[in-house]
Amino acid sequence: MRITDIILKKRNGGTLGKEEIDFFINGYVSGEIPDYQISALLMAIWFNGMNPEETVALTLSMAGSGDQVDLSAIPGVKADKHSTGGVGDTTTLVVVPLVAACGGKVAKMSGRGLGHTGGTLDKLESIPGFEVNQTMERFIEIVSEIGLSIIGQTANLVPADKMLYALRDVTMTIDNLSLIAGSIMSKKIASGSDVIVLDVKTGNGAFMQDVDAAVNLAKAMVAIGNSVGRKTLALVTDMNQPLGNAVGNALEVREAIEILQGKYKKGELKAVSFALAENMLVLSGTVRTKEEAGVLLQEALDSGRALGKLGDMIEMQNGNPAVTEDLSLLPEAGKVITVKAEQQGFLSSLRTAEIGHCSMLLGAGRTKKSDPVDPAVGIWMKKREGDQVEKGEELAEFHVNDEKNVDEAISRFRKALKISDVQPEKRPLVYQAVEG
Active site residues: 82, 161, 168, 183, 187
**Whole-angstrom Cα distance, residue 421 to residue 344?**
8
CB neighbour list of residue 307: distance below 8 Å, 6 or more residues apart: 97, 257, 260, 261, 324
Residue 345's φ and ψ, nearest 5 degrees, are 145, -155
Q: Are 378 and 251 in contact (CB under 8 A)?
A: yes
Angle at alpha carbon of residue 238, lines to 331 and 116, rounded to 5°:
45
**Whole-angstrom Cα distance, residue 67 to residue 82?**
19
Q: Torsion angle, CA of 402/403/408/410, rounded to 10 degrees?
A: 100
Q: Are 319 and 128 in contact (CB under 8 A)?
A: yes
Name which of 271, 310, 285 is nearest 100 in CA terms.
310
**Whole-angstrom Cα distance, residue 173 to residue 330?**
39
**Whole-angstrom Cα distance, residue 394 to residue 341?**
6
Residue 156's φ and ψ, nearest 5 degrees, are -105, 25
Angle at alpha carbon of residue 277, lines to 271 and 282, rounded to 5°:
130
**Whole-angstrom Cα distance, residue 38 to residue 79?**
34
Cα separation values, 387 from 129, 247, 344, 381, 409, Å: 38, 19, 11, 12, 22
**Whole-angstrom Cα distance, residue 103 to residue 352?**
35
Report the chain's C-alpha Rg in angstroms. 22
